[in-house]
Amino acid sequence: MQHPVLACRKVSRLYGARASEFVTDGHLTTDNVQTLQEAGITPAIFNVDLDIERGKTFVIMGLSGSGKSTLLRCLAGLTPPSAGKILFESKNLFEFSEADLIQIHRHQMGMVFQHFALLPHLTVLGNVAFPLEIQGRPRAEREEIAQRMIRLVGLEGREHRFPAQLSGGQQQRVGIARSLAGDPDVWFLDEPFSALDPLIRREMQAEVIRLQGMLKKTIVFITHDFEEAVRVADRIAIMKDGQVEQVGTAEELLVSPATDYVRAFTRDAPRAHILTARSIMTTSPSAGPFGGEVNATDRVISFARELDASSLPLAVIENNEIIGAIDRTMLLDILIGPETQAVGA
């Protein structure tokens, strides 16, 4: 099996005056969060284990203050963890020399920031070309690459504007173009769209999905919006108070939430868009008759109308075999929750 691009091994980051008392040789001396909190320490992230696979989009979710940004900063090599190891291509990211780390940042990582982080004194072109300028590439080369990136995000014709002359959505496009200019392997996005209004936000999500389809980067994406996560993610990690509650696909989180917290988090999710036929079907053998057939991997939304119109259940097919069935009550369960839950709510 291919090794993950980035991995966390019992990574913790503590904030507080007495933080160093609880770390020896890169390991925490306590596994108890309460001991830390009583000592006035904020465990921004605590014993996190993660694997981030190559070419996939990994989303980190959680409420404000749950440690998402801290985790991302550790993964990106900006903040050293207090304990544990970050493995980048199987090597400890924080054991690289300063010069090597600079090279990694220049050529293998790119980041999009929540508040855009555009340099106010540079034009759009200057901002996009900035990483290349830092690398010391010749002017003609870097401007050509920058132009290509600007075209990629649809900002051609605005190269010579300054950030203050752009709308929020346009500014973030510049941020995206800039983060891609160095052709990174890993692309970090920290709540890239939460400063934007909902319509622009949708547009930008589509943009990221489109770019990902073309470029196949490894993406680490932070959001606190589950819908956004579902749209872009291959896998999602849900964080609470610095700890990872569960990692999985959107569907796994919905179907088998590991904790009540995860359940609460996914309650308002667009279930029909996420769940597949396989996860809602009954496997109890039924000979039919069937009103039609669906693939096990089809999303509910794609056959909901058909199911609604038919009085008979649909057969779920995998490898040309019927492996289960779906009827209309199941559809209702998905949309408004199973009966027991509805009474409780």
Partner 1 sequence: MKKASALPAGVVFGKPVNLRHLPWLIIVILSVILAELPRTVFPRWVQKYPTGWRLSLADWISAFMHWLTVDAHLGPLTVSGFTRALSFLLDLPLQLASMVLATGVLKGQGSEAVMLFPPVPWFALIIAIAALSWTLRGWRLAVGMTIGFLYLAVFGQWTSAMVTLASVLVAALLSAAGGLALGLLCVRSATFGRLLSPLLDVAQTMPVFAYLLPMLILFGFGPVSAMIATVIYAIPPMVRVTVVAIQGVPDELRSLGSMTGCTRRQMTWRILLPTALPGLMVGVNQVIMLSLNVVIIASMIGAGGLGWDVLGALRRLDIGGGLEAGLAITVLAVMLDRFAQALVPDARRSGPSGSRSHHRVIAGALALAGLLWIAAALWPAIAHYPESARLSTGPFWNDLVSWINIHFHDPLDVIKTFMLLHVLMPVKRFMLALPWPWVVTVVTLAGLWMGGIRLALTVGLMCGFMAVVGLWQPAMITLYLCGVSVVIAMLLGVPVGVIATQRPWLMKSVEVFIDTLQTLPAFVYLIPIVMLFRVGDFTAMIGIVLYAIAPAIRYTAHGISHVPESLIEAGTMTGCTRGQILRRIRLPHALPDMLLGLNQTILLALSMLVITALVGTRDLGQVTYAALSKADVGQGVVAGLCVAFIGMISDRFIRQAIRQPGS
Ligand X SMILES: Nc1ncnc2c1ncn2[C@@H]1O[C@H](COP(=O)(O)OP(=O)(O)OP(=O)(O)O)[C@@H](O)[C@H]1O
Report whether the peptide linkage leading into residue 289 is cis, meaning its omega lies within 30 degrees of zero. Answer: yes
- The total of other beta-carbon atoms located within 10 Å of residue 213's CB is 8
Contact indicator for 326, 314 with CB cutoff of 8 Å:
yes
Q: Is 142 in the site for ligand X (CB under 6 A)?
A: no
The token pair that represents 4 in the structure block: 């993950």
Select 121 or 305, whichever has its Cβ closest to partner 1.
Answer: 121
Residue 128 CB, nearest approach to Mg ion (Å): 24
Give the separation between CA 329 and CA 338, rounded to whole angstroms: 9
Q: Quote the tokens at residue 251.
A: 């569907």
Residue 123 binding partner 1, by CB under 8 A: yes
Closest contact distance (angstroms) between CB of 95 and ligand X is 23
Footprint of partner 1 on 77-96 (CB under 8 A): 77-78
User: Which residues, numbered 70-109, are part of the site for ligand X (CB under 6 A)?
Assistant: 70
Q: Which of 34, 64, 284, 319 binds ligand X (CB under 6 A)?
A: 64
Indicate whether 15 belongs to the interface with ligand X (CB under 6 A): yes
Beta bridge partners of 321: 318
Shortest CB 183 distance to partner 1, Å: 13
* Phi and psi at residue 69, to the nearest 5°: -65, -40
69 binds ligand X (CB under 6 A): yes
Binds ligand X (CB under 6 A): choice among 9, 10, 26, 42? 42
Under the binding rule (CB under 5 A), the answer on residue 69 touching Mg ion is yes
Question: Of 6, 12, 67, 291, which one interacts with ligand X (CB under 6 A)?
Answer: 67
Residue 109, contacted partner among Mg ion, ligand X, partner 1, none, CB below 5-8 A by kind: partner 1
Is the CB of 69 or the CB of 276 nearer to ligand X?
A: 69
Residue 42 interacts, among Mg ion, partner 1, ligand X, none and using kind-specific CB cut-offs from 5 to 8 Å, with ligand X
Told to check if 121 binds partner 1 by CB under 8 A, we report: yes
| DSSP string across 20-73 | GGGEETTEES---HHHHHHTT-EEEEEEEEEEE-TT-EEEEEE-TTSSHHHHHH
Please answer whether residues 323 and 317 qualify as being in contact, where contact means their C-beta atoms are separated by less than 8 angstroms. Answer: yes
In whole angstroms, give the CA distance from residue 242 to residue 12.
8
Chain positions contacting ligand X, by CB under 6 A: 15, 42, 44, 62, 64-70, 224
